[in-house]
Amino acid sequence: MTVAPFDLGLAGQTVVVTGAGRGIGLAVTAGFLAAGCRVVAGSRQRTEELDRLVEQGADLTVVEVDLATAEGPAALVGAAVAAHGRLDVLVNNVGAVRPRVDGFLATTDADWEWTFAVNFTAAVRATRAALPHLIAAGDGRIVTVSSVNARLPDPLVIDYCAAKAALSNFCKALSKQVGPQGVRVNCVSPGPVETALWNGGDGMAETLGKSLGVDPASVAGNVAAQAATGRFTTPAEVADLVLFLASPRSGNTTGADYLVDGGMIDAL
């Protein structure tokens, strides 16, 4: 039996994706392009994967920008509006984590500031820049990639957990203000995802493996076993939910935070 494609009603819309070079951001970018969108992708550095999409004729503009700087997020949003004259969707995806294997007392002010700049303040700044354009669009949408760690405090990533908890709280509060103005705000909170953040060089598994003196694959396997499904989430699985929440098909959904964690979180 052939399954008919699920039309999300996104064709022709302008989308900004932060942290688009790899992993979840790249999967989100590819998903919006496949749905017929014009995508402006923010990445600290161009990547081969993004360039390949451009070479294939995708309606994709790549903006090299450091989103942890004060001016970076607004520059990205400005580039999108300058190129396309409007903005319909903002995806706050940029994020990073550094395991604090030496504990809380070894986590400096600079560590905390870096973590919040990348994982929280970048989204606040991008949202501030995008919001007037999303309101003008009449049906603007913001989807933010938070983390299961917003609800799952872990001393190994204590600053990351705090930043993601702040991010989820920010999105919920904002949704109440801007809903009457026609802008919907939702979060997607993945558990461990098959990306370089976990499995790459200097990723979580390798860093923790070195600290504990064990094989990184064993670290990743133990973490995956904590999910009811027994595996990591794929970037495409996160991207599919992001696209749905960004689409008219989820028209009365706002202020929500959806877990994509394979059942890792026990609480309702």
Residue positions annotated with a catalytic role: 160, 164
Amino acid (one-letter) located at 86: R
Identify the DSSP state of 47: -
Angle, in degrees to the nearest 10, between helices 122-137 and 158-178: 20
Q: Are 44 and 62 in contact (CB under 8 A)?
A: no
Tokens of 47: 């990547």
Q: Among all chains, which residue has been given the structure tokens 């989308």? A: 15
Per the CB < 8 A criterion, the answer to whether 75 and 67 are in contact is no
Helix (H), strand (E) at residue 188: strand 184-190
181, 180, 176, 171: which is closest to 126 by C-alpha? Answer: 171
- The DSSP symbol for 121 reads I
Three-state secondary structure string covering 216-231: HHHHHHHHHCCCCCCC
